[in-house]
Amino acid sequence: MIKHVDCSVICGHRGKEEQDSAFHNGYSKLKFPESKHNKMPSHAADVVPYPIDWNDLERFYMFVGVVRGIAAMLDIPIRCGADWDGDMEIKDQNFHDVPHFELLEP
């Protein structure tokens, strides 16, 4: 990914304390150990375009498209928090976690 777009991994693996904090603060819908962030090695990462501008959502969504495209070219099945059900519709999401990307089980 970094060969194409400058980005930062802001979260990879989360232990119990970090996951419970993310859940209680509304950043995750899952308690420990249910998140893919809790696996070792992690099966999820929160990745954002760099430099980070949390107010530029359009840039985040463009970044999601690049990540999905590269994953598809490499035949890596992923899901992202911008489109949990993978239907290319973002308005039908009830929990937006645009930086979140996770590996899908084969």
Residues 44-96 pLDDT 10s: 999 999 999 999 999 999 999 999 999 999 999 999 999 999 999 999 999 99
Q: Check whether 105 has a pLDDT greater than 90.
A: no
Question: What pLDDT does residue 29 have?
Answer: 97
Q: What percent of the chain has pLDDT over 70?
A: 99
Q: What does pTM read for this prediction?
A: 0.94
Tell me the C-alpha distance between 83 and 71, whole Å: 15
83 secondary structure, DSSP code: B
Question: What pLDDT does residue 93 have?
Answer: 94
Tell me the C-alpha distance between 37 and 32, whole Å: 9
